[in-house]
Amino acid sequence: MKILVALLLLSALSNSIEVFGDDSEEQCRYKPKLDPRPHSVSIVEFGAVGDGKTLNTGAFQNAIFYLNSFADKGGAQLYVPPGKWLTGSFNLTSHLTLFLEADAIILGSQDPSHWGVTDPLPSYGRGMDITGSRYRSLINGYSLQDVVITGNNGTIDGQGSFWWDSFRSHTLNHSRPHLVEIVKSFDVVVSNLTFLNAPAYNIHPVYCSHVLVQNISAYAPSSSPYTIGVVPDSSDHMCIENCNISMGYDAITLKSGWDEHGITYNRPTTYVHIKQVNLEASTGSAVAFGSEMSGGISYVLVENLHIKNSFTGIDFRTAVGRGGYIENIQVSDVEMENVYTAFIANGQYKSHPDEEYDPSALPALDQISIEDVTGENITMAGSFTGIENSPFEFTLSNITLSMNSATSPISAWVCSNVVGSSKTISPEPCPELESSSINSLSSFIATLSSKGLASHS
Ligand SMILES: *[C@@H]1O[C@H](CO)[C@@H](O)[C@H](O)[C@H]1NC(C)=O
Ligand SMILES: *[C@@H]1O[C@H](CO)[C@@H](O)[C@H](O)[C@H]1NC(C)=O
Ligand SMILES: *[C@@H]1O[C@H](CO)[C@@H](O)[C@H](O)[C@H]1NC(C)=O
Ligand SMILES: *[C@@H]1O[C@H](CO)[C@@H](O)[C@H](O)[C@H]1NC(C)=O
Ligand SMILES: *[C@@H]1O[C@H](CO)[C@@H](O)[C@H](O)[C@H]1NC(C)=O
Ligand SMILES: *[C@@H]1O[C@H](CO)[C@@H](O)[C@H](O)[C@H]1NC(C)=O
Ligand SMILES: *[C@@H]1O[C@H](CO)[C@@H](O)[C@H](O)[C@H]1NC(C)=O
Ligand SMILES: *[C@@H]1O[C@H](CO)[C@@H](O)[C@H](O)[C@H]1NC(C)=O
């Protein structure tokens, strides 16, 4: 019986990894053609003044309205020369390249009336900071195709301190804006730029397909509340590579909607490849999944990560009421340094959008594999606290963490409601994650049979 289950399990795992290995690797292998646009105008031609004081929202809006007429003629480029270009929110258009020259800095206005207000995303049902609507992001795209935001390492600076102060003092009238938000679009590239001081998120693709985020750096102070670098949200076929991200909260967070709103919208984040990134996440996690994951998150390949000075390395977050799933996730080739907890999986994220969530909507977290990890100065190796009746499932292998002996608690690993297996782990993991454990095998039978993959016969 035990052998049968183990074989069944092995074949289930190897099948899935083969399938997703092929596909998630494709995301960073596919490179969009970045042909130069046949038409280019400078923002200066639309009256913009790069003195850091003049408000240029009208210039950006007018330039992009004009360039929209080239959408069916091969597209166009909006060129931003060196200077400090203060602006409020503006919208992009299809077949457009926004190009920021070296020393071109787009500055976000610190007056909230320059940002405009928009409805909550349907998969969230409300703003993230407070209920109700949200400020529009600085640079927005709605239902577009073929959009490129790039440059010669120019800068987009959100001057977020006003927003962080308003968040901390509970004086926000709507949830905070982001720097770049692209909604329901495909073929999107964000590359070769520096992002500074985002009010909340830096890059937020929502309901998008084919998004490449490449060679960007993003910084916000370690004290900035809930600032996040890149947030793939109900989006598929994404590549994030060659980026340096240092944030107050998380560096990269994958999401897909919140409780009943996300379940109804039902759009997963899937086929995401994250590679070769240097991440710092002061109070959150270098790479986080959830906690809003109600549309599902699957087929994510994360490799070649350098994580330092972070609260958590890799983090899986969910709660009863979310529904959805996080599955077929492979994390490999990770170096961590000065990280408090290397791995967390927490099924007790209690925040809900409203009282309408379904307490019987259990999330599933399975087929998560983490391998080839080294860590220096780690305080806690792992904390896996799953959900009763929906245990988390992990496979760990080849993980060597050097623990901070001055601060390490007695047990490096904490586990409950988790099953799985492990190989070559130091410090030694909890018994729930040892492949020989009778306990984990029998919970496994329960998990598999509850999914109709095995029977007790
Ligand atoms: C930007 O796009 C949104 C959504 O289509 C629209 O509601 C808004 O009016 C646009 N803003 C401007 C300045 O064009
Ligand atoms: C990264 O961006 C910098 C500055 O924009 C550029 O010089 C460099 O060639 C880019 N590297 C890649 C791999 O695109
Ligand atoms: C871009 O500029 C920022 C500082 O402005 C720097 O930290 C970063 O390394 C530069 N990126 C590249 C690829 O040159
Ligand atoms: C909220 O609205 C009040 C009244 O309109 C305004 O004085 C205040 O500046 C607004 N706060 C923010 C953060 O937008
Ligand atoms: C980034 O910049 C480099 C150097 O100019 C260029 O070769 C590359 O195509 C750019 N990458 C993207 C994705 O824009
Ligand atoms: C990221 O940091 C590394 C090491 O400091 C640097 O070589 C690389 O150019 C940086 N990349 C970006 C996109 O800023
Ligand atoms: C070890 O990591 C912790 C963060 O978890 C940090 O506060 C501390 O300074 C680090 N120690 C050294 C020697 O770098
Ligand atoms: C274990 O992981 C390290 C990197 O963390 C890697 O260099 C080594 O080759 C791996 N060993 C095996 C047996 O895969």
173: CA distance to ligand 4 center in Å? Answer: 6
Q: pTM here? A: 0.92
Tens digits of residue pLDDT in 434-444: 864 444 455 55
Mean pLDDT of 226-252: 98
- Is residue 10's pLDDT more than 50? no
Residue 15 pLDDT: 35
Residue 16 pLDDT: 34
Instruction: Give dist(CA 231, CA 201) in Å, integer.
Output: 7
Domain positions in the chain:
2-450
- Is residue 355's pLDDT more than 70? yes
The token duo for 376 is 């220096």
The token duo for 347 is 């099924």
Helices (H), 80-228: 161-168
The Cβ of residue 51 has, within 10 Å, a number of other Cβ atoms equal to 11
Q: For atom 14 of ligand 6, which residue has the closest CA?
A: 217
Tens digits of residue pLDDT in 149-198: 999 999 999 999 999 999 999 999 999 999 999 999 999 999 999 999 99
Q: Ligand nearest 189 Cα, by number? A: 5
Question: Per the omega criterion (within 30 degrees of 0), is the bond before 291 cis?
Answer: yes
Output the DSSP codes for 157-186.
Answer: E--THHHHHHHHTT--SSBPP-SEEEES-E
What is the identity of the amino acid at 42?
S
Top mutation candidate among 278, 307, 309 for ligand 6, by most atoms within 8 Å of CB: 278
3-state secondary structure of 309: strand
The token duo for 200 is 């909340």
* Residue 20 φ/ψ, nearest 5 degrees: -80, -30
286: CA distance to ligand 7 center in Å? Answer: 16
The token duo for 305 is 């990560």
Q: By the 8 A CB rule, do 362 and 332 touch?
A: no
Cβ-based neighbours of 448, under 8 Å, separated by 6 or more? 5, 8, 9, 12, 454
Cβ-based neighbours of 314, under 8 Å, separated by 6 or more? 285, 286, 287, 288, 302, 331, 334, 342, 343, 344, 370
Residue 434 pLDDT: 82
407: CA distance to ligand 7 center in Å? Answer: 10
408: CA distance to ligand 3 center in Å? Answer: 36
Tens digits of residue pLDDT in 56-95: 999 999 999 999 999 999 999 999 999 999 999 999 999 9
- Is residue 18's pLDDT more than 50? no
Which of the four pLDDT bands, split at 50, 70 and 90, describes residue 287? very high
Residue 13 pLDDT: 38
Closest ligand 8 atom to residue 372 Cα is 2
What is the identity of the amino acid at 99?
F
Q: For atom 12 of ligand 5, which residue has the closest CA?
A: 191
**CATH domain 2-450 topology:** Pectate Lyase C-like (2.160.20)
Residue 437 pLDDT: 45
Angle between helical axes of 2-29 and 438-450 (0-180°, round to 10): 70
Mean pLDDT of 391-402: 97
Instruction: Give dist(CA 239, CA 28) in Å, integer.
Output: 5
Q: How many CA atoms lie within 13 A of 235 on its CB side?
A: 33
Instruction: Give dist(CA 430, CA 4) in Å, integer.
Output: 24
- Is residue 449's pLDDT more than 80? no
Mean pLDDT of 108-127: 97
The helix (H) or strand (E) run that includes residue 57 is helix 57-67
Residue 408 pLDDT: 60
Cβ-based neighbours of 454, under 8 Å, separated by 6 or more? 5, 8, 445, 448
Q: Is the CB of 372 under 6 A from ligand 8?
A: yes
Top mutation candidate among 99, 215, 217, 239 for ligand 5, by most atoms within 8 Å of CB: 215
Q: By the 8 A CB rule, do 213 and 238 touch?
A: yes
Which of the four pLDDT bands, split at 50, 70 and 90, describes residue 99? very high
Residue 155 pLDDT: 98
Mean pLDDT of 204-218: 98
Q: Is the CB of 153 under 6 A from ligand 3?
A: yes
* Residue 92 φ/ψ, nearest 5 degrees: -90, 180
Closest ligand 5 atom to residue 212 Cα is 13
22/300: higher pLDDT: 300
Identify the weakest region by mean pLDDT among 8-12, 275-279, 292-296, 331-335. Answer: 8-12
Q: Is the CB of 142 under 6 A from ligand 1?
A: yes
Q: By the 8 A CB rule, do 248 and 224 touch?
A: yes
Closest ligand 6 atom to residue 194 Cα is 14
Tens digits of residue pLDDT in 25-43: 678 887 777 889 999 999 9
The per-residue pLDDT of the chain, averaged, comes to 91
Residue 154 forms beta bridges with which residues? Answer: 193
Closest ligand 5 atom to residue 214 Cα is 13
Top mutation candidate among 117, 162, 170, 173 for ligand 4, by most atoms within 8 Å of CB: 173
